[in-house]
């Protein structure tokens, strides 16, 4: 039996999942129409006072979002908060489209007219939102959809705001690289967010559309933060000779460190894009049919308000889920399937397509478990990699569930002192913190430290590393006294064991000096 929300909305199939929840295809059984249902699980609401505060904030943000009356924002039809305060549902217009992420490829540069067309449409949406004012806060390729007629839809307005105020800020856990790529310096500093913060993110999107790579790119999220705050960005003409000077100047203005140096508003951005947009009736220039099968964002400028063409009847989003085998796989075929999935996984992770990378492994995990056993080392390694991809992609709730299950599996197969189990528990605790369960995450980490100390003493290599990790987490969460409680005895032990010149000793000393 399919799940029914609020006795009205039927969940039929999951469309996507991410760090804040999942989007489902659903049906409004009262009005007899398909809808999209954004399901947000909220773990940080643990008391009546928090529940009341969250309810008021959720309703306020949902109402404000619903006031954005523009075709570039999916309409909000309803907002549902269940009695347990664990599940939040936004019922919205169902959009048939593909994400801007699908257009980004470092080996295939987008036509500049496409970049201008996408950016101009986003700027139009932002102008309507900022007038209320509503600031998006999380503008990124995954939150921009292109429909089959080439029009842009900006999704997830207000979702980050609903959760931000009740979740402690943790900026050093290294788990937000995807969002950090588009985050303004003032957001990194946790300063007040303004409409010009969205303009900075828009400049990051423009740079990536033109170049094929993010404005600032590094393996370390801390380094990405530093670059946004300190490093001067390269102009577009450093990467492409065909970029007009004025387009380069616009992007550099958008990504200015000081918000006051950015364009005044989204309308000003649109005005500066007008020279680069195609005129009504203009044909597609030769060589600009980029990525056949994906919507052309210039179409709404070349053919404004054009009738629906017969060729547009087919949806833009096509399911690529692999079919289940009709017979058990032979050992040779299974090995080939696993190797193929792992190879595809590595390719997708390298391209920052983390959710798809996890799906590539999920497609073979059940077959591998059936053939080799659920606790076989190869099966656990596949699950471990899939969970890691979910973490990288910001799907923290999904990752947490899998990591906790993996911890139990490693404990069964390797014993109570399994280092793999410890690692899974630590990662799961970090996921808890990312979704707002700060106290729960610290409880898991403290229990984990106790278990590690019981296994090898408080000065074992694993214990020293865990004590440092826990101290850093308390430091980042602003819990100064708890951080000192962990870090001061750790420094004393390290000075005896390794001396003051040891890198670990120096790292702890720096943290204590900052405290």
**Per-residue pLDDT tens for 231-266?**
999 999 999 999 999 999 999 999 999 999 999 999
Catalytic residue chosen out of the listed positions 43, 105, 138, 513: 138
Strand order in the sheet with 76-81: 4-5, 9-18, 21-28, 33-41, 87-92, 76-81
Cβ atoms of residues 486 and 471 within 8 Å: yes
| pLDDT at residue 251, as a whole number | 97
Answer whether residue 322 is part of any domain.
Answer: no
Q: Which of 92, 107, 127 is the last residue before a domain boundary?
A: 92
The reply to whether 80 and 119 lie within a common domain is no
The reply to whether 58 and 31 lie within a common domain is yes
| 462-487 pLDDT, tens digit each | 888 888 888 888 888 788 888 888 88
The reply to whether 236 and 368 lie within a common domain is no
What's the total number of domains in the chain? 3
The reply to whether 66 and 145 lie within a common domain is no
Question: What's the pTM?
Answer: 0.58
Return the number of other C-beta atoms located less than 10 Å from residue 347's C-beta: 13
Cβ atoms of residues 447 and 54 within 8 Å: no
φ, ψ dihedrals at 11, nearest 5° = -80, 125
Series of mean pLDDT values for 10-residue runs along the chain (515 residues): 81 74 83 82 60 68 78 89 71 89 86 95 94 86 91 79 41 48 91 90 96 91 92 94 96 96 95 95 71 81 76 40 47 87 87 76 88 90 93 84 92 88 90 82 88 86 85 84 87 85 83 83
Cβ atoms of residues 473 and 446 within 8 Å: no
Q: Which of 52, 77, 92 is the last residue before a domain boundary?
A: 92
- Residue-by-residue DSSP string for 99-115: EGGGG--TTSPPPHHHH
The two three-digit tokens of residue 449, written as one number? 């430290």
The reply to whether 352 and 385 lie within a common domain is yes
CA distances from residue 261 to 245, 258, 264 in whole angstroms, order as listed: 18, 6, 8
| pLDDT at residue 47, as a whole number | 60
| pLDDT at residue 176, as a whole number | 44
CATH number of the domain enclosing 158: 1.10.510.10
The reply to whether 420 and 454 lie within a common domain is yes
Q: Which of 40, 72, 92 is the last residue before a domain boundary?
A: 92
Strand order in the sheet with 144-147: 97-99, 144-147, 152-154
| pLDDT at residue 313, as a whole number | 42
Residue 10 pairs with which residues in a beta bridge? 4, 27
The Cα 76–Cα 155 span in angstroms is 11
CA distances from residue 83 to 45, 224, 227, 323 in whole angstroms, order as listed: 12, 40, 44, 39
Of 151, 160, 141, residue with least CA distance to 206: 141
Strands 9-18 and 4-5: antiparallel
Helix axes 245-254, 266-273, angle to 10 degrees: 170
The two three-digit tokens of residue 502, written as one number? 């040891």
| pLDDT at residue 314, as a whole number | 40
CA distances from residue 458 to 149, 182, 463, 465, 489 in whole angstroms, order as listed: 62, 41, 5, 10, 10
Cβ atoms of residues 76 and 65 within 8 Å: yes
Helices (H), 24-139: 48-66, 112-130
The reply to whether 53 and 88 lie within a common domain is yes
The reply to whether 273 and 339 lie within a common domain is no
138 classed as catalytic: yes
Answer whether residue 310 is part of any domain.
Answer: no
Answer whether residue 286 is part of any domain.
Answer: no
Cβ atoms of residues 208 and 141 within 8 Å: yes
Taken in order 146, 149, 152, 156, the sign of the CA dihedral is negative
The reply to whether 228 and 359 lie within a common domain is no
CATH number of the domain enclosing 368: 1.25.40.10
The residues, ordered by sequence, that sit 6+ positions from 343 with a Cβ below 8 Å of its Cβ are: none
Of 454, 456, 455, 464, residue with least CA distance to 490: 464
Answer whether residue 134 is part of any domain.
Answer: yes
Taken in order 206, 208, 214, 215, the sign of the CA dihedral is negative
The reply to whether 57 and 152 lie within a common domain is no
Of 348, 450, 394, residue with least CA distance to 178: 394
The reply to whether 34 and 52 lie within a common domain is yes
- Residue positions counted in the chain: 515
Helix axes 354-372, 377-392, angle to 10 degrees: 160
The Cα 322–Cα 299 span in angstroms is 33
Range of the domain at 340: 331-514
The reply to whether 264 and 168 lie within a common domain is yes
Cβ atoms of residues 396 and 435 within 8 Å: yes
Answer whether residue 307 is part of any domain.
Answer: no
Helices (H), 373-434: 377-392, 396-414, 419-434
């Amino acid at each position: 039996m399919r799940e029914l929300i609020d006795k009205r909305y039927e969940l039929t199939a999951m469309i996507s999942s991410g760090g804040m929840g999942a989007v489902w295809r659903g049906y409004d059984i009262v009005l007899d129409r398909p809808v999209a249902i954004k399901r947000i699980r909220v773990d940080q609401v643990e008391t009546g006072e928090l529940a009341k505060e969250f309810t008021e904030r959720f309703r306020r943000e949902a109402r404000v979002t619903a006031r954005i009356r523009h075709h570039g924002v999916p309409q909000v039809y309803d907002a549902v908060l269940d009695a347990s305060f664990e599940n939040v549902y936004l019922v919205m217009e169902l959009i048939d489209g593909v994400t801007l992420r699908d257009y980004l490829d470092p080996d295939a540069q987008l036509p500049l007219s496409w970049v201008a067309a996408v950016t101009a449409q986003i700027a139009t949406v932002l102008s309507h939102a900022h007038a209320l004012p509503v600031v998006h806060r999380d503008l990124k390729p995954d939150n921009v959809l292109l429909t089959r007629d080439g029009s842009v839809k900006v999704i997830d307005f207000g979702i980050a705001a609903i959760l931000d105020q009740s979740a402690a800020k943790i900026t050093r856990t290294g788990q937000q690289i995807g969002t950090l790529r588009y985050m303004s310096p003032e957001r990194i500093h946790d300063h007040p967010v303004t409409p010009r913060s969205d303009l900075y993110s828009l400049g990051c999107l423009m740079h990536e559309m033109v170049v094929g790579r993010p404005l600032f790119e590094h393996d370390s999220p801390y380094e990405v933060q530093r670059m946004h705050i300190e490093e001067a960005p390269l102009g577009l003409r450093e990467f492409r000779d065909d970029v007009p000077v004025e387009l380069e100047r616009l992007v550099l203005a958008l990504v200015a460190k000081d918000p006051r140096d950015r364009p005044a508003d989204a309308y000003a951005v649109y005005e500066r894009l007008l020279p680069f947009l195609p005129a009504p009736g203009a044909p597609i220039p030769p060589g600009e049919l980029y990525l056949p099968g994906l919507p052309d964002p210039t179409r709404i400028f070349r053919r404004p308000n054009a009738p629906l063409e017969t060729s547009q009847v087919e949806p833009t989003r096509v399911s690529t889920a692999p079919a289940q085998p009709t017979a058990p796989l032979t050992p040779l075929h299974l090995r080939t399937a696993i190797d193929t999935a792992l190879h595809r996984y590595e390719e997708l992770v390298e391209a920052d397509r983390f959710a798809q990378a996890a799906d590539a492994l999920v497609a073979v995990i059940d077959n591998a478990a059936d053939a080799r056993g659920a606790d076989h080392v190869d099966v656990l390694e596949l699950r471990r990699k899939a969970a890691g991809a979910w973490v990288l992609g910001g799907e923290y709730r999904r990752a947490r569930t899998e990591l906790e299950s993996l911890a139990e599996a490693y404990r069964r197969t390797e014993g109570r002192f399994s280092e793999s189990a410890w690692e899974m528990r630590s990662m799961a605790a970090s996921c808890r913190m990312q979704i707002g369960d700060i106290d729960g995450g610290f409880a898991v980490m403290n229990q984990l430290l106790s278990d590690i100390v019981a296994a090898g003493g408080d000065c074992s290599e694993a214990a020293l590393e865990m004590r440092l990790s826990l101290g850093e987490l308390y430091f980042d969460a602003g819990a100064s006294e708890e951080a000192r409680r962990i870090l001061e005895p750790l420094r004393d032990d390290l000075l005896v064991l390794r001396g003051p010149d040891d890198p670990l000793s120096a790292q702890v000393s720096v943290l204590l000096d900052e405290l």
